[in-house]
Amino acid sequence: MKILVYGAGVIGCYLTHVLCAAGNDVTLLARGSWRETLERDGLTIVHHLQKKTTHDRPHVIGALNGEHYDLVFAVMQYQQMAAILDDLTQADSPVVVLVGNNMDAGKMETYIQAHTAAPKTVLFGFQGTGGRRETDKAVCVRFGDMGMTVGGAHGEPSTADKQALTSAFADTGYHLTWAADMDAWYKCHLAFILPIVYLSYALDCDLRRATGKQIKTGLQAVREGYGLLDALGYPILPEDTMEKLHGFKGALSYVLLRLMAKTTIGELAATDHCRNAVTELEALDTAFAALRERGLGFPMPHWDTLRSAMPDWERLHQLYRKQGGHRK
């Protein structure tokens, strides 16, 4: 298949690697000095947990070139995605998948459908890889071969689209999970990650300093976030989410979070992104605050405790502005 990956941060790079491994004809859209590196040296990824390094040679472009693609994956930070919607409307492809955190899935789908140059399906996805991009390589943290949760803003992909996506990742071990409501899925994901973000910033992006009490507060804040979404009428997704916060599974979640916080995994999976994506995380925090306004009066004391312990966004921009933002 002929596939375009629009965005060459860590998530886009790993996605490109998997698609290349499946034997696809892959083009990667990148800009700046990173594009020059990719054109000169190819794509190098250090897979941190797997203790291996891979090299791929996708085609590299700096802008859409009018070519036809069987699939397009747009992999950008949340606040950057809106800026490329016009590009996506012009992309010559029957299927476009917007990958990454997204609090405006429905609006973006509507915009692309209303302005597209040719009929296309708009889907949304999330790939749970972390890491950082360095001068000459990407460092990726992932568990196993990973995969993507993918669906429409408010509906599962069609049978034909499922077949196309499945074919793109054939024989790679990359797992696709179909979702019927990515709009709700994204909001639930945000309810989980924002308490970790608040704690990371409160600890100067060093989760090794986190106490057991702080991690427990984080889990209680996550429960409050899900409670708010439930009160607003959103389904809590994935369906087994609440089970992981109570009883034995809740205790296991605590242990796993504490282990993550005390190891390099926490840095690559969480705090590196906090350093490199302040603008995105501020936008996501603002979007969740808007949800809280709709659920005015819903009690979230643990959430507020974590949120108030971190510096304000202006200070965070000052602290981390030199570190850029290219995780995805």
Per domain, the residue ranges of the chain are: 2-180, 184-323
Q: Which of 166-182 are b and which e, b meaning 16 or more Cβ less than 10 Å from the residue's Cβ?
A: eebbeebebeeeebebb
Looking at residues 115-126, what average pLDDT do you find? 95
What fold does the segment set 2-180 form as a domain? Rossmann fold (3.40.50)
3-class secondary structure, 238: coil
* Cα 204 → chain centroid: 22
pLDDT of residue 94: 97
For the segment 154-212, what is each residue's pLDDT rounded down to a tens digit?
999 999 999 999 999 999 999 999 999 999 999 999 999 999 999 999 999 999 999 99
Q: Which of 228-240 are b and which e, b meaning 16 or more Cβ less than 10 Å from the residue's Cβ?
A: bbeeeebebbeee
Whether residue 119 has a cis bond before it, omega within 30° of 0:
no
3-class secondary structure, 173: coil
Residue of 217, 229, 218 whose CA lies nearest to 195: 218
Greatest pairwise CA separation for the chain in angstroms? 56
CB 320 within 8 A of CB 132: no
3-class secondary structure, 100: coil
Average pLDDT along the chain: 92
Q: How confident is the model at residue 252 (pLDDT cuts 50, 70, 90)?
A: low
Looking at residues 138-146, what average pLDDT do you find? 87
Residue of 122, 8, 16 whose CA lies nearest to 76: 8
